Amino acid sequence: MCGITAYVGDGQAYPYLLKGLERLEYRGYDSAGVATVNNGQVQLHKTPGKVEQLKSTVLPGKIGISHTRWATHGPPTKDNAHPHLCQTNSIALVHNGIIENYAQLRGQLQEKGYTFKSDTDTEVLVQLMNYYYGKTYNMEMALRKALHDVVGAYGIVAFHKDDPRLYAARKGSPLVVGIGDNENFVASDPAAFLDSTRRVLYLEDEDIAVVSKNDYEIKSLCVGEEECVHRTEESIDWDLSSVEKNGFEHFMLKEIMEQPESLKHCLAGRIDLTTGGIKVTIDLPEHFVKRLSKISIVACGTSSYAAYVGKYLIEKYSRIPVEVDVASEWRYKNPIVGPEDLVIVISQSGETADTLAALREAKKQGARSLGVINVVGSSMAREVDSGIYIHAGPEIGVASTKAFTGQVVALNFLALRLAEMRKDLRHEEVLLAIQELEKTPELVTSCLKEAPEIKEVASQIKDAKSVFFIGRGVNLATAMEGALKLKEISYIHSEFFPAGEMKHGPIALLEPGFPVVTFVNKNDPMYEKNLSSIQEAKARGAFIIAVADHVDAVLTSNADAILHVPTVPDILQPIINVIPLQLLAYYVALARGCEIDQPRNLAKSVTVE
């Protein structure tokens, strides 16, 4: 993985390819490369490092492919960077995904006389295509035969020096065709070509696309090679300003500050304060919802922490037992689900490989599925039985911010709607909850005004070796997310713990100056216990940072820093309390000089297992 962009048209390909790669830099990468065809010869330029280094050379040609790579097989070297060429320098290929049986295929090709320049699984694929092209002299057939041999996930774009078309294929890694005038595109993300066209067509698993400058055909690996399949053209409704910084130093800061607006979009059209109704449609039969005895929520990373908030809300309103699992574990543990169960998947991109695989496992076992997703048209969005979009808009920063708060709002809607359908809440209780939800954009705005004070606190912990985040109840999920934000962009080791577990081991690590972040909300039923946890840590000399909605003598005598938030009910606390933690992580990383939007070793959407 990470970013693919390809062009065929009347224009010179190289400028389009470089611009596309720059649009995809947010996904993270460690090397980059471009290949074009000019006068029947493949032109290639690859480099470890940044896309900027590709600008030293301009490759002529009206067809080309390009790629930014996060290393999975082999280190980030020039030879391992994509595109890869076959042994005869006639086929060039870029690839996102992992070919699981590449070592076996590599051995078979070596026995046939093929030699390899790289350590990658991708070079195996292009050499395999070359082998079959030598037997068929047909690119589509060579691609088909090669893909029938491989085991794994892929998003592929390739060309042959004697064929003016792009050949793309997808299985488990997203690809989208951009449809222009006398030019067409293929990319892993429509942001790559959005300044040229908004007309798109999303490929589905086991699709093959043959794309010329004026036309395209979509076929399937599962049917005969002459038979085309229908895929619906769509129009992208967001603009380029969504994927630009617009004056902010980093995308992460921009997206933190966008949250009042992104939450308004999430709320829009879903609340009727006059009747006290929730206008959220869940395409699940009422009899099924009323009989629900168990729900599983499956997700990865930040989305899995939002899942714990969903668990809290559903169990609070409907008393349905909810299990939360990391997708990479759930899919392999022989999950106990069936036709009477609901499996909820949460993903910003809708393409997270492990979550998508878990969804497919759930469907295979007959369970009904529901998605909480940001990206419209994504694989998960198409495959779930029902879903709720969070409408956060494109999220570019690798560290998720506005997606988390949008997911929590959407999960509030979901929990309330399930409770309505099951008659678990009175109308007055639902009305009260949606009145509180309606206030979230304004409340988040008030939290963002505390940024200068939070920046000062960040300066006091920027040199810490480790930080603890502790919480109880619904704020345990907030502690999880706070710890993740700090570690992924500042590279400071950070861990979360249930506050009550401190005395069962973690407290042994506390020493003078050790930062501990916690939550003190006055209307929290565990308020007194939270104060006790603070006092325990303070007695060991810890540097206490309290996210608090009030100030009193007990708090000021124990907290070294207070991050102020408004008073809200428990259902909104993860949304409100996470805002100062997002800003804290950002300002700590800024003070440490870290690469905030592209932290090392991380990618925005993890589309390989």
CATH number belonging to domain 2-237? 3.60.20.10
Q: Which residues contact 147 (CB under 8 A, 6 or more apart)?
A: 154, 156, 169, 171, 221
Confirm whether 2-237 and 451-609 share one CATH topology: no
- What ranges do the domains of the chain cover? 2-237, 243-438, 451-609
Greater confidence (342 vs 377) lies with 342
The DSSP bridge partners found for residue 257 are none
pLDDT at 552: 87
For 423, other C-beta atoms within 10 Å of its C-beta total 9
* Helix, strand, coil content of the chain in percent (nearest 5): 40, 25, 35
CATH number belonging to domain 451-609? 3.40.50.10490
Using an 8 Å Cβ cutoff, are 379 and 392 in contact?
no
**Mean model confidence pLDDT for the chain:** 92
Residue 544: alpha-carbon gap to chain centroid = 32
Helices H / strands E in the chain, number of each: 19, 26
Residues serving a catalytic function are: 2, 604
Lookup result for tokens 């990373």:
301
Class of domain 243-438: alpha beta
129-155 pLDDT, tens digit per residue, is: 999 999 999 999 999 999 999 998 899
pLDDT at 283: 87
What integer is the mean pLDDT of 520-526? 88
Cβ neighbourhood burial of 503 (10 Å; 0-12, 13-18, 19+): exposed
259-290 pLDDT, tens digit per residue, is: 999 999 999 989 887 776 788 888 899 999 99
What integer is the mean pLDDT of 364-384? 93
Proportion of the chain above pLDDT 90, given as a percent? 75
pLDDT at 548: 96
Q: Which residues contact 164 (CB under 8 A, 6 or more apart)?
A: 8, 62, 63, 212, 213
- Can you read off the two tokens belonging to residue 599? 């932290």
| Res 28 pLDDT > 60 | yes
Q: Which run of H or E residues covers position 471?
A: strand 466-471
The Cα–Cα gap between 211 and 143 comes to 14
586-602 pLDDT, tens digit per residue, is: 999 999 999 999 888 88
Using an 8 Å Cβ cutoff, are 514 and 545 in contact?
no
194 sits in the region (left: phi over 0; alpha: psi -120 to 50; else beta) called alpha
Confidence of residue 243 (pLDDT cuts 50, 70, 90): confident
The Cα–Cα gap between 178 and 176 comes to 6
pLDDT at 459: 98
Give the CA-trace dihedral at 520, 524, 526, 532, to 10 degrees. 20
pLDDT at 282: 87
State the Cα angle at 146 between 140 and 147, rounded to 5°: 90
| Res 163 pLDDT > 80 | yes
- Can you read off the two tokens belonging to residue 467? 């930080």
Using an 8 Å Cβ cutoff, are 92 and 56 in contact?
no
Residue 504: alpha-carbon gap to chain centroid = 34
The DSSP bridge partners found for residue 99 are 152
